[in-house]
Amino acid sequence: MRNRNARIAKLLRRQRRLLVHFNTPMSRHALGYPHDLQDAIANPHWAMCCSTVKVNDQPPSQHTDPGRAPVQGHIGVVMGLKGSRVVEARPWDQGSNGRGDGPDRVASLAECRTALADKSVADEWFARDLKPLAIFKFPTAYGYTPMAGEIDVPLPTVLADFPTMPIVSVWKGRFQVFDRTKGLFFPAAYADLPKA
Which pLDDT tens digit goes with each residue over 147-192? 888 899 999 999 999 999 999 999 999 999 999 999 999 999 999 9
Task: Find residue 79's DSSP bridge partners.
Answer: 19, 132
Segment 40-71, tens digit of pLDDT: 999 999 989 999 999 998 888 766 666 677 88
For residue 97, the model assigns a pLDDT of: 44
The pLDDT of residue 99? 45
Task: Tell me the DSSP string of 94-134.
Answer: -TTTT----TT----HHHHHHHHHT-SS--EEEEES-EEEE
**Total Cβ atoms within 10 A of residue 143:** 26
98 pLDDT above the threshold of 50: no
Q: Given a cut of 70, is residue 125 above it in pLDDT?
A: yes
Hey, which bits of the chain come out as E strands? 18-22, 48-53, 75-80, 85-90, 124-128, 131-137, 142-145, 149-152, 167-171, 174-179, 184-187
- The amino acid sitting at 13 is R
What is the C-alpha to C-alpha distance for residues 129 and 131, in angstroms, rounded to an integer?
7
d(CA 191, CA 118): 24
Contact 141, 61 (CB under 8 A): no
Contact of 49 with 115, CB cutoff 8 Å: no
Q: What pLDDT, on a 0 to 100 scale, did the predictor assign at position 63?
A: 62
pLDDT tens column, 11-37 = 999 999 999 999 987 777 788 999 999
Burial (CB count <10 Å: 0-12, 13-18, 19+), residue 96: exposed
